Amino acid sequence: MVNTEKERASLLFMQALVSRGSVDAVSHHMASHPQYLESFLRSQHYILHMDGPLPLPCRHYIAIMAAARHHCSYLVSLHSAHFLRVGGDPVWLQGLEAAPPRLRHLDHINKVLAHQPWLTACSHMQTLLKTGEQCWSLAELVQAVVLLAHCHSLCSFVFGSRADGLCDLAPFPKSPNSTPPAYCPCDTANGNANVPDITRRRSLDSSCEMLFLKERIQKSQEEREKREERLLHAHNTLQQTELEDEEETAVYSAEPSRFVSDPDFCYQEFARQEEDHFQVFRVQDYSWEDHGFSLVNRLYSDIGHLLDDRFRSVASLPSSHSPDLKRAIWNYIHCVLGIRYDDYDYGEVNQLLKGDMKLYIKAVACFPDDTKAPVCPLPWAPLKPSERIHVNLLIMEARLQAELLYALRAITQYMIA
């Protein structure tokens, strides 16, 4: 029934209208890649609304904590509104200190995963899982770290898309502590150290939503345009309703800093190899495919399949970028986060990614709240908007997988200790 990518995107918007009552700005920007958008929406809906050990208010509060680390007012406001809609206590939105101790205990692993994930250790997991009234179960902790990683990486997409000149995303403050470093770990790895580095919702497959899918899609362009006009009108009406609801929470959600402790903790350059301050994470020893996928799927049923589908979808999207270039972007992000592939020639990163492209990718992946066009210029002129979004999707998913690898490895170490 779906004959074009444009029609597929329209159907996904209809599904979102039924399940959530709105089409958010993030979905709008991802709509140029409907194949990926569908995968993204399924995983996000499952994490936030479907079966899982954490209550719905706690899930949205964890999302608020994660987004606040990057001063992402857009996501903090969005999840503050959802938090209240699912029965969350408004007092919690006064700040992190007003939250229950169990949630406050997540603050340390939240800031480490957000800014320096290579510091994630078995001891962090042991502290959260220790016996006591405020302890976490393994299943709860796995869902929590998936939520944290998902929202951290989504901040990268939000700010990266805004830096492209796209609209509708909240303005972002400048982080005074995040400045582009002067060298590239990939250069160091290849001996070029002096080279500069510039309550519960329906699922998307519910019978209610299927009513939209069963409607006959007319073939003529005129009828498609009419459908789009009706959809736009419905979206504007629902968006206005959502804005009115969010006005009620503005007093709580306007300032992300109230959900942040230790604001000076930020991204620092991963130690140069010769300094040996931190051990490089080698994928040959712990990988998503061989280790992380099975662990997360066992402790948080089905999420492994949904996340894996996202990783595969973003890698297989039609693009003018060559497979080598997409691989270089992915491996470069992992490299600056301390993750290495022994079977990859990192010289390809320097050959395929120009200096300003590397600077942009690193900034969006590592300190997205400091992403501004003058700081991180990107040669976007030759690229179509969908290609720009594709680069930001690659950045988001590579960062998501990196955080998951560090967190799941620490949980694995705790389990076998």
pLDDT score at 32:
84
Q: Is residue 167 exposed (0-12), middle (13-18) or buried (19+ Cβ within 10 Å)?
A: exposed
- pTM equals 0.77
pLDDT score at 11:
56
**Residue among 137, 144, 108, 272 at smallest CA distance from 197:** 272
pLDDT score at 308:
97
| Residue ranges, the chain, pLDDT below 70 | 1-23, 131, 162-254, 271-278, 370-383
Helices first, then strands: H and E counts in the chain: 19, 2
pLDDT score at 29:
84
pLDDT score at 195:
41
pLDDT score at 198:
35
Q: Which two tokens stand for residue 387?
A: 């290609």
List CB contacts of 210: < 8 A, sequence separation 6 or more: none
pLDDT score at 35:
87
pLDDT score at 213:
35
pLDDT score at 27:
83
Say how far apart CA 331 and CA 395 lie, in whole Å: 10
pLDDT score at 100:
95
Q: Which residues are catalytic?
A: 72
